[in-house]
A and B are shown apart, each in its own frame.
Chain A
Amino acid sequence: MRLSLDFRGTVIVAILGVIFLLAAPEIFAKVTIIKLNVPIALAILALSLALVWGFGGILCFGQTAFFGLGAYAYSIAALNFGGSTWAILVAVLVAAAVAALLGYVIFYGRVSDVYLAVITLTVTLILYSLMRRTSGPDYKIGDALLGGFNGVKSPKINLPWDSGETLSRIELFYPAFAALILAYLVCGWLVRTHFGRVCVAVRENELRAELIGYDTRLYKLGIFVVGAALAGLAGVLFCVGVTRVTPDVFNLYTASLTIIWVIVGGRGTLIGPILGAFGLYYLTEWLGKTASINNNLILGGVLILFVLLVPKGVVPTVTDWVAERRGARAMRARERRMRMRRSRAGSGDPEDRA
């Protein structure tokens, strides 16, 4: 099992991340750093789907449901509590609880993969249309008006020990990026634990995992809930980064993005979808400024292209190519050795047995 070798790769990436965390505010303009907060949140969302889909094999097309629930729960809780610390916890728990409920019904009901995909997509779409209808003074939870189209204002994150001290948008970068690095390390660790390996096995062949004695429903539920909690956390960082949460967090476009990050970045890797999220964010930004091509057009085209031509995604295709080159080089070296051995065989090489 080449696991320990792989984890070294994960740690290296994490260290690079820490370097970036410390160096970036010195190198880049304030505006750039502030703008990073959004793709960081999206990257965590991508990571959550990489875990659930890439490793767990669970086709969740509606990961944005938990993303949005986290954002709304945080905003509503923070407005009611007057502080952010417990609100963050509430947000993550709400996302996890909803996932636990939905997951229980789906996994213990042995609903097929494809149906699961469509059901989760439907959940996020229904949440979208639901939240859009909540304008008006009657729709509120505690002190927080749900606000319909306009959504809910998201209070800034404050230091846990002093609710007066809130983080400015540039200060937000530090905990946000640190959260990304930490989440990445935790996910990397998780997929290498016994639990994680079983989830991968379930993805590979659920029946065989059952026949070995694992209750696969439990494992699927477990990783689904962890992924949802992570998505909820991403939601929190997102809404704080853009200062409010609107029903658009649940919409089809956002849901499409999460899938595309994983497809383009690479299923079965953790870093791939993270890079996919950053890459596509800046790509759509740049295209929005230079060309006037509709975003949907671009995304649709990208998705179709990748499904047909690069089904594994960027990171695995690149690593496969590198491995092949290395493998080809190793093969050539081996052939050279064999040729030398054969020529020595004529002179009675001790390697040969009679």
Chain B
Amino acid sequence: MSRSEIVLETRGLAMHFGGVKAVDRVDFSLWDHELRCLIGPNGAGKSTFFKCLTGQLVPTAGSVVIRDVHVAGREPHEVAALGVGIKTQVPNVFNGLSVEENIWLACRRWHGPARSRSLTAETLERLQLGDIRNEMVESLAHGQRQWVELGMVVAAEPWLVLLDEPAAGMTHDETVRTAELIREINRTATLIVVEHDMQFIRMISNKVTLFHEGRILMEDTMEAISVDPKAREVYLGTRA
């Protein structure tokens, strides 16, 4: 990669809940076309940090800049409007609507009726959801719901994709497919993926950011981190 620019940056980002410092003065940088994973034990602050990026939380302090736009404290729809696709930890989908309609709504936000229809069909193809296009999302299995949500995210053709635990609760085969999907998305977009599953992370990423107690402990490749003694200590008890 030549002449890569920083597309997302946080400076001194902090999120306090009462006395708890869930995110504690984090400086973070993300380069164009990266596929960065955020890892760390439970309570390390990864998801809280994530929510500060998406507009779901208003940071207590610090700044979040996405391609020169300050987004800290903005509404989620304003962040989305910058071309950011967001998938939340618990799948947030439209349960009472069909798979097709879920994805159509994501397309229709940014495109006219004709383009939306074709984009919806393409996305259904791409995520292999064609067979269940008319099913109500609430009747789908967990893994399929995650893919519907993923479909909604990519349908809008975002340049920056933020995923919070995309492989959670999936079978091994589903995890492999999700990893393929994510690598495919990475061909055109920049990604941040928050994850727990070490195997999954190895399947997708190069650079990894390790969170601990609200701060960034280290940033390196997965290989380097798995042999680092400090990192192993932090992750004591987790299968590496």
User: Which residues of A are interface residues toward B (Cβ below 8 A)?
Assistant: 1-2, 194, 197-198, 200-201, 203-205, 207-216
B100 near A211 with CB under 8 A, answer: no
Q: Which chain B positions have C-beta within 8 A of A208?
A: 88, 92-94, 149, 152
Main SS of the interface on chain A? helix
Q: Which chain B positions have C-beta within 8 A of A213?
A: 77, 80-81, 109-110, 156
Residue of A nearest to B96 (CB): A204
CB distance from B209 to the nearest CB of A (A): 22
Question: CB of B101 within 8 A of chain A?
Answer: yes
Complex Cα spacing A210 to B106, Å: 10
Question: CB of B50 within 8 A of chain A?
Answer: no
Complex Cα spacing A203 to B105, Å: 13
User: Which residues of B are interface residues toward A (Cβ below 8 A)?
Assistant: 54, 56, 75-77, 80-81, 86, 88, 92-98, 100-101, 104-106, 108-110, 113, 134, 149, 152, 156
A214 near B96 with CB under 8 A, answer: no
Q: List 12 A-B contacts (CB under 8 A).
A: A197-B108, A203-B96, A208-B92, A209-B94, A210-B75, A211-B54, A211-B76, A211-B80, A212-B80, A213-B77, A213-B80, A216-B77
Complex Cα spacing A68 to B81, Å: 40
Q: Which chain B positions have C-beta within 8 A of A205?
A: 92-95
Q: Which chain A positions have C-beta within 8 A of B109?
A: 212-214
B75 near A204 with CB under 8 A, answer: no
Complex Cα spacing A207 to B134, Å: 23
Complex Cα spacing A203 to B110, Å: 20
Q: Which chain A positions have C-beta within 8 A of B101?
A: 1, 197
CB distance from B142 to the nearest CB of A (A): 16
Given A200-B94, A201-B97, A212-B109, 18 new contacts (CB under 8 A): A1-B98, A2-B134, A197-B105, A197-B108, A203-B96, A204-B95, A205-B93, A207-B76, A207-B92, A208-B88, A208-B152, A210-B75, A210-B77, A212-B156, A213-B77, A213-B80, A213-B156, A215-B75
CB distance from B112 to the nearest CB of A (A): 10
Which of the residues A200, A203, A204, A211 comes within 8 Å of B88, measured between beta carbons?
A: A211
Which of the residues B77, B96, B97, B106 comes within 8 Å of A215, measured between beta carbons?
A: B77
Complex Cα spacing A204 to B131, Å: 23
Q: Which 5 A-B pairs have the closest CB atoms?
A: A213-B80, A204-B94, A208-B92, A210-B76, A213-B109
Residue of B nearest to A208 (CB): B92
Complex Cα spacing A302 to B8, Å: 57
Q: Which chain B positions have C-beta within 8 A of A197?
A: 101, 105, 108
Residue of B nearest to A212 (CB): B106
Complex Cα spacing A276 to B110, Å: 39
Residue of A nearest to B105 (CB): A201
Residue of B nearest to A197 (CB): B105
Complex Cα spacing A209 to B96, Å: 13
CB distance from A211 to the nearest CB of B (A): 5
B80 near A198 with CB under 8 A, answer: no
CB distance from B45 to the nearest CB of A (A): 21
Residue of B nearest to A110 (CB): B75
B96 near A211 with CB under 8 A, answer: no
Complex Cα spacing A203 to B76, Å: 17
Complex Cα spacing A210 to B105, Å: 11
CB distance from B225 to the nearest CB of A (A): 30
CB distance from B23 to the nearest CB of A (A): 20
Residue of A nearest to B80 (CB): A213
B80 near A210 with CB under 8 A, answer: yes
Residue of B nearest to A268 (CB): B96
Residue of A nearest to B110 (CB): A213
CB distance from B154 to the nearest CB of A (A): 12
CB distance from A331 to the nearest CB of B (A): 16
